[in-house]
Structure 1
Amino acid sequence: MQINIFETADQSGLEAALACKELIGDAIHTNGSARIVLSTGASQFEFLQHFITMNIEWDKVEMFHLDEYIALPESHPASFRKYLKERFLQYVNVKQVCLVNGEAEPQAELRRLNEEIAKAPVDVALIGIGENAHIAFNDPPADFVTEEPYKVVDLDDTCKQQQVREGWFATVDDVPKQAITMTVKQILKSRHIVSVVPHEAKAAAIANTFKREVDPNYPATILKSHSNWRLYLDKDSASKIYAWS
């Protein structure tokens, strides 16, 4: 585990983008291509603003993402497909994109996603951490045992409340009840995991990630078991780390 703490969210995002550039470049040099997984949400704004400016051979990069709400139209402001098209895909010309289609029949979509991601290992996975310490939409108590790469999950109330606070939905009742998410086991198969987690709202989740043993009730704790995990914080998200000592 490598912990990187910077003064601002912007600096944290920049340094994470530079690290990802290096990791992706190494994968392309070794394999001729690279596979990446991207996170979404407000915590990734600064990272993506810098990531799209990196001098990367994007035409050798294949992109997946972590999750999508079931039955939410792509036109909705909270759609993760919309998010990625507006903040990433319109700026870089990647080799191939595999977006999670929450409007498709869920079981058919799971079969498609599981088949696609199983074709080769993921080189770099951007894995955010939610306010309830979720990773992707693996809310507590998270499933640490499912082998399939993607699954359908029920969203818990804390997760839904975060989506409202961040402005994606007007009320908790507007948040979809289910989503398709990458599973914990699939996340851990990534060769490198990079977590960009700025802002004070994430401070308790970060503190719990460090304080607790690996525990499904604090899903992000499982990231500590990965041999190549890099965590990027700002001073606000890191503010409660030392309060546990």
Structure 2
Amino acid sequence: MSTPLSRFTADSLPVEVYASEADLGRAAAERAAATIRDAVRRRGAARVVVATGNSQYAFTDALREQEIPWGRVTVFHMDEYVRIAADHPASFRRWIRERIEVPFAPAAVHYIDGNAADPEAECARYEAELRELPLDLVCMGVGENGHLAFNEPYQASFDDDRWARVITLTPRSREQQVGEGHFATVEDVPATAISLTVPALLAAEAVQVCVPEQRKAAAIAATLNDPVSTACPATILRRSPHATLFLDTDSASKIDSLR
């Protein structure tokens, strides 16, 4: 059992700080496994949304150590670039396939089709799949500019009636993708993506937000200190008591005043 260095609550949001990214990943994996097992015990199945990206590596690696009834789990992901092939190295479908579908063999994986001829129709199709039954767990991160999935500053809506939309990436988000090594230049990063909306991300019974690394420290400080607004979409987490924010000492390094 991974033990946090500290725990506190930011408004309604439980926050846990761990000594390392690996410890953070293990703690989140333990919590996710328990949530999935409970859903399967109660309803016979679990429906889980999983984020992609470098910040989720420790979490998904640690899932290998957990006892999870994957044969009863349906997996969704939360965003995908428009007009990107499923086998592109930066495709989020490829990320989910390689890090979730292949190693764990869940009962089903529902993919956002970035190659869909009509992205708006693809949003409607995916939203319908998400809404078929309750979501048990969402596992996500926070972007360097405070975005959730690809709900960007000032573009996000906290009361959106849609669960999936086509969005335009901000320059900061495109730069993050280059910095993480997924694209060679900003110009190579697709300008648009299909993303689950904020209400969709918070619709699950439990929400886990894994945010390691120093490069996320400013975004986390804003998440926990700034007024709740779409200027920093992640601030809405402070109104989400069913969520837990998992940090390491690097990502928590700018929030000492809150501990």
SS at match of 1:52: helix
- C-alpha contact (below 8 Å) 1:209/1:221 kept by paired residues: yes
- Give the structure-1-normalised TM-score: 0.97
Offset at 1:244?
A: 7.2
Q: Name the residue aligned to 1:35.
A: 47
Which deviations, in whole Å up to 9, do the C-alpha atoms of 1:52-104 show, x marking residues without a partner?
Answer: 33211101111011000000111211100111111111111211111111111
* Cα distance in structure 1, aligned partners of 2:153 and 2:102: 34
Q: Name the residue aligned to 1:216.
A: 230
SS at match of 2:244: strand
Alignment of 1:129 onto 2:142: yes
2:133 partner amino acid: A
Given the alignment, which residue of 89, 113, 118 partners 1:77? 89
Alignment of 1:238 onto 2:249: no
Given the alignment, which residue of 164, 168, 172 partners 1:158? 172
SS at match of 2:133: coil
Given the alignment, which residue of 48, 61, 70 partners 1:58? 70
Alignment of 1:7 onto 2:19: yes
- C-alpha contact (below 8 Å) 1:23/1:124 kept by paired residues: yes
* Cα distance in structure 1, aligned partners of 2:111 and 2:257: 39
Offset at 1:201?
A: 0.4
* Equivalent residue runs for 1:16-31 within 5 Å: 16-31=28-43
Offset at 1:213?
A: 2.1
Which deviations, in whole Å up to 9, do the C-alpha atoms of 1:94-138 show, x marking residues without a partner?
Answer: 111111111112122112101111111111101210000000000
Offset at 1:222?
A: 0.6
Q: Name the residue aligned to 2:201.
A: 187
2:209 partner amino acid: S
SS at match of 1:90: helix
Which deviations, in whole Å up to 9, do the C-alpha atoms of 1:199-224 show, x marking residues without a partner?
Answer: 00000000001101211010001111
Moved over 2 A (4+): none
- Give the structure-2-normalised TM-score: 0.92
* Cα distance in structure 2, aligned partners of 1:230 and 1:244: 16
- Tell me the matched-pair count: 245
* Cα distance in structure 1, aligned partners of 2:55 and 2:205: 22
- C-alpha contact (below 8 Å) 1:147/1:186 kept by paired residues: no
- C-alpha contact (below 8 Å) 1:207/1:244 kept by paired residues: no
SS at match of 1:140: coil
* Cα distance in structure 1, aligned partners of 2:158 and 2:31: 27
Offset at 1:159?
A: 0.4
- C-alpha contact (below 8 Å) 1:69/1:180 kept by paired residues: yes
Q: Name the residue aligned to 1:171.
A: 185
SS at match of 1:208: helix
Q: Percent identity of the aligned residues?
A: 39
SS at match of 2:103: coil
SS at match of 1:195: strand
SS at match of 2:29: helix
- C-alpha contact (below 8 Å) 2:141/2:149 kept by paired residues: yes
Offset at 1:145?
A: 2.7
1:197 partner amino acid: V
Q: Name the residue aligned to 2:216.
A: 202
